[in-house]
């Protein structure tokens, strides 16, 4: 079951061109939503303005070689390993979700565009990775949702409480959950249930990508930029005016304060 390409099976009912067009539309929503979010909230203007101010206030110049080293350090620590998280549970949940999303999205694109029908069978490893990526998102996302969120872990609120700040993580986890259930029912030949969960999968995925201007999606781009800027300010000796790295719930789409016991 986990070695089968669910999109190839779906091609018996939905033309591959339709599936590919949907993926393209989702990609355009990501690009357009992120640009809109950046312009509307003036995030890019803030960072560039702060960058110029930091250079003016700096006590030493940072050369191109040193800047490259700082960029590599930022990628290795803040991006690839989420080293800014001091809490191991939050860090593990974040890494599971982040790498799960990368694997899931990349394999989805490969399966839909390169192996869209049973006539073009995909190498076994790609569907296996698709299922694995979706499972990683679910494990990391549900772990965060039910056990790590501040209002649940620290304030005792219901884990089913939903606010706008939760839109990104909620739609992401639901999208991958419905994708897995749809694929399982489809593989088992349960057509009626497969159609139900396919519809839920498409709804959750559309909400995920269409709601970018109102969710915390763009945060994943600003977070590395802010980390790199902090390293630059430390290197050139300018006064830091950005907050220090924190285990902020906003990483997963929440704007709540951090619990004191974490």
| 82-119 per-position pLDDT tens digit | 766 777 788 888 899 999 999 999 999 999 999 999 99
Low-confidence ranges of the chain (pLDDT < 50): 242, 247-262
Q: Would you state the pLDDT for residue 163?
A: 67
**Using CA atoms, how far apart are residues 10 and 201, in angstroms rounded to an integer?**
13
Domain count, the chain: 1
- pTM greater than 0.85: no
Whether 41 is covered by a domain: the verdict is yes
Q: What is the pLDDT of residue 154?
A: 56
pLDDT at position 80, please? 73
Say if 128 falls within a structural domain. Answer: yes
Spatial contact of 125 and 112, defined as CB atoms under 8 Å apart: no
Residue at 100 is within a domain: yes
Range of the domain at 156: 6-252
HSE-up of 88 (CA within 13 Å, CB side)? 0
Structure tokens at 58: 């700096």
Secondary structure, 3-state, the chain? CCCCCHHHHHCCCCCHHHHHHHHHHHHHHHHHHHHHHHHHHCHHHHHHHHHHHHHHHCCCCCCHHHHHHHHHHHHHHHHCCCCCCCCHHHHHHHHHHHHHHHHHHHHHHHHHHHCCCCCCCCCCHHHHHHHHHHHHHHHHHHHHHHHHCHHHHCCCCCCCCCCHHHHHHHHHHHHHHHHHHHHHHHHHCCHHHHHHHHHHHHHHHHHHHHCHHHCCCCHHHHHHHHHHHHHHHHHHCCCCCCCCCCCCHHHHCCCCCCCCCC
Flag whether 89 is in a domain.
Answer: yes
Separation between Cα atoms, residue 148 and residue 252, nearest integer Å: 10
Q: Quick one: pLDDT at residue 11?
A: 94
Is residue 64, in this structure, part of any structural domain at all? yes
Q: In this structure, is residue 261 part of a structural domain?
A: no
Contact 209, 33 (CB under 8 A): yes
| pLDDT of amino acid 114 | 96
- The answer as to whether 260 is a domain residue is no
The pLDDT of residue 144: 86
pLDDT value, residue 148: 78
Res 39: pLDDT? 75
What confidence score (pLDDT) does residue 76 get? 72
Tell whether 167 is covered by a domain.
Answer: yes
Q: Report pLDDT for 250.
A: 42
Summarised one tens digit per residue, pLDDT across range 33-54 is 888 877 766 666 666 666 667 6
- Tell me the C-alpha distance between 14 and 117, whole Å: 10
């Amino acid at each position: 079951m986990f070695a089968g390409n669910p999109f190839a099976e779906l091609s018996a009912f939905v033309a591959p061109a339709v599936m590919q067009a949907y993926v393209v539309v989702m990609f355009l929503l990501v690009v357009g939503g992120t640009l809109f979010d950046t312009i509307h909230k003036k995030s890019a203007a803030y960072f560039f303005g702060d960058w110029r101010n930091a250079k003016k206030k700096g006590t030493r110049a940072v050369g191109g070689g040193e800047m490259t080293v700082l960029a590599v350090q930022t990628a290795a620590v803040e991006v690839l390993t989420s080293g800014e998280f001091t809490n191991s549970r939050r860090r593990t949940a974040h890494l599971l979700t982040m790498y799960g999303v990368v694997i899931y999205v990349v394999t989805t694109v490969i399966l839909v565009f390169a192996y869209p029908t049973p006539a073009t069978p995909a190498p076994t490893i790609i569907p296996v990775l698709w299922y694995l990526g979706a499972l990683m998102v679910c494990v990391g996302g549900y772990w965060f949702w039910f056990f790590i969120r501040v209002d649940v872990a620290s304030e005792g609120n219901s884990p089913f409480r939903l606010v706008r700040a939760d839109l990104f993580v909620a739609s992401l986890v639901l999208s991958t959950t419905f994708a897995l259930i749809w694929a399982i029912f489809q593989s088992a030949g349960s057509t009626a249930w497969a159609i139900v969960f396919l519809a839920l999968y498409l709804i959750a995925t559309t909400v995920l990508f269409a709601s970018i201007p109102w969710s915390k999606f763009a945060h994943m781009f600003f977070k590395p930029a802010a980390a790199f800027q902090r390293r630059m300010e430390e290197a050139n000796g300018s006064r830091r005016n950005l907050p220090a790295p924190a285990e902020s719930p906003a990483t997963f789409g929440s704007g709540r304060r951090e619990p004191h016991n974490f």
